[in-house]
């Protein structure tokens, strides 16, 4: 539940960074996408295992 909220905020920030130049976010966008992708993959796998 908390992760869903974090991921939602993250996606909104990511989408905003394409229109509005967020200095920190624009510099680290590829890194952020990579970290987010890995986190999402592990959490998704963990949720499937616990179900």
Tell me which residue range forms the domain holding 9.
Answer: 2-50
Number of domains in the chain: 1
Rounded to whole angstroms, the Cα distance separating 37 from 49 reads 18
Q: Read off the pLDDT of residues 9-37 as tens digits, 9 standing for 90 and up.
A: 878 877 777 666 666 666 676 777 777 78
- Which pLDDT belongs to residue 11? 80
CA distances from 33 to 5, 6, 9, 15, 36 (A): 17, 14, 13, 12, 5
């Amino acid at each position: 539940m908390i992760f869903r909220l974090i991921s939602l905020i993250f996606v909104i920030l990511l989408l905003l960074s394409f229109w509005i130049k967020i200095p920190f976010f624009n510099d680290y966008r590829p890194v952020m996408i990579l970290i987010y992708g890995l986190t999402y993959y592990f959490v998704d796998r963990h949720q499937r295992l616990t179900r």
